[in-house]
């Protein structure tokens, strides 16, 4: 059963500058990060790790929980998944994560391609505001972490 929340997971690497992987959706001409819904009794983090594996074939070992939470209309989720939800559930939370990705990405059929882009280029390619906000937070956190280690 689909849980009433979504996750967003941002692949990143440092090569030598930070780069972020945007995924081109198969069902429309839009770019986003790994996204999906929770299943059964999963926590958002468990759902993120599962979705990362399903959509990129990567076993994410280092996942950063972000503060960014968006609320999205429940009607963007397929009727098949939301038919068991309370009829008065109109918005659901979308929890955001980042994950280090230094291995080869193999996409599921949900996406037709991907691009590794620097922050500004990734930001301009994204469609959804929730993706942009989460990317902004992850980028800030990575830069702050880098400055601490200097």
In this predicted model, what pLDDT tens digit does every residue of 32-82 receive, in sequence order? Answer: 999 999 998 999 999 999 999 999 999 998 899 999 999 999 888 888 878
CATH number of the structural domain spanning residue 111: 3.90.79.10
What does the pLDDT read at residue 79? 83
Determine whether 38 is exposed, middle or buried from the number of CB atoms within 10 Å of its CB (0-12, 13-18, 19+).
buried
CA distances from 41 to 2, 3, 47, 118 (A): 9, 7, 9, 36
Assess contact for 101 and 19: CB atoms under 8 A.
no
Structural domains counted in the chain: 1
Identify the domain containing residue 139 by its residue range. Answer: 2-149
pTM to 2 decimal places: 0.92
The pLDDT of residue 106 is above 90: yes
> What's the CA gap between 97 and 12, in Å, rounded?
11
Q: Of 42, 49, 20, whose CA–CA distance to 114 is shortest?
A: 20
């Amino acid at each position: 059963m689909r849980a009433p929340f979504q996750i967003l997971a941002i692949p990143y690497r440092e090569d030598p500058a930070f780069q972020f992987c945007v995924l081109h959706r198969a069902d429309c001409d839009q770019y986003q990060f790994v996204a999906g819904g929770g299943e059964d009794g999963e926590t958002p983090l468990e759902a993120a790790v599962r979705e990362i594996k399903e959509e990129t074939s990567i076993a994410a070992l280092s996942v950063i929980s972000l503060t960014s939470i968006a609320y999205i209309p429940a009607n963007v989720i397929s009727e098949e998944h939301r038919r068991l939800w309370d009829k008065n559930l109109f918005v659901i939370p979308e929890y955001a994560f980042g994950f280090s990705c230094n291995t080869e990405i193999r996409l599921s059929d949900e996406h037709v391609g991907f691009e590794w882009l620097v922050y500004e280029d990734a930001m301009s390619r994204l469609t959804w505001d929730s993706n942009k906000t989460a990317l902004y937070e992850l980028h800030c956190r990575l830069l702050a972490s880098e400055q601490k280690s200097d």
